[in-house]
Amino acid sequence: MKLAVLFCFLCMFMVFAAQSAEAGTLYKWTDSSGKVHFSDQPPPQSVKEVQEKKLLSQPQEKGQTSYAIQTAARNYPVTLYVTDCGESCAKAREHLTKRGIPFKEKNPSEPEVSEELQKLSGGLEVPVLLIGKSSPVKGYGSETWDAALDVAGYPKTITKTASPTKTEK
């Protein structure tokens, strides 16, 4: 019985310690001799330039994407060549949106986009998925698309707070 009570107190202590470690402020300042200091305590009053960084781990706001998606999108931006071609184009858009992938949508019915797609894929069939500078993925297949997105570092599932964004049409 004593062991169970001790275990409960230990668990509660760990929870409170984790919460207090998450929240806080980091201060950065340079003293009069030029030495840079980092501390969780405010600097002396004599210090004039102080950089203050809040370390509170806040949940993402609606519309923000996770760090993993931001990194993958920066390194391997996704472009979807698509028209209103029917079910396969609709599924292609839906797939990227459900997975939370930010993508640029291009319509090959526009002459300059048509030329671009022709050079890229050797044809004008849609949908075509382009991830970074990799080879284009022609046609829609959920397993094929997931494998290509996984290789680029996109998360397999959307985070609860992230919402997909579709950039430029």
User: What mean pLDDT is predicted for residues 20-31?
Assistant: 70
Segment 52-75, tens digit of pLDDT: 877 654 444 445 678 888 999 999
Coil, strand or helix: which one is 18? Answer: helix
For range 25-38, the mean pLDDT: 83
pLDDT of residue 31: 83
The pLDDT assigned to 167 comes to 47
Taking the domains of the chain in order of start, what are their residue ranges? Answer: 23-58, 67-167
Average pLDDT, stretch 131-149?
A: 94
Q: What single DSSP character describes residue 5?
A: H
pLDDT at residue 20, rounded to an integer: 46
Burial of 136 by CB count in 10 Å (0-12 exposed, 13-18 middle, 19+ buried)? middle
- Work out the pLDDT band at 4, boundaries 50, 70, 90: low
When the candidates are 3.40.50.11540, 3.40.30.10, 3.40.190.10, 3.10.105.10, the CATH number that belongs to 67-167 is 3.40.30.10
What is the reported pLDDT for 106? Answer: 95
Q: Measured between alpha carbons, how far is 65 from 84 in angstroms, rounded to an integer?
A: 27
Predicted TM-score (pTM) of this structure? 0.58
pLDDT tier, 169 (very low <50, low <70, confident <90, very high otherwise):
very low
Residue 88 confidence (pLDDT)? 92
How far is 85 from 92, CA to CA, in rounded Å?
A: 11
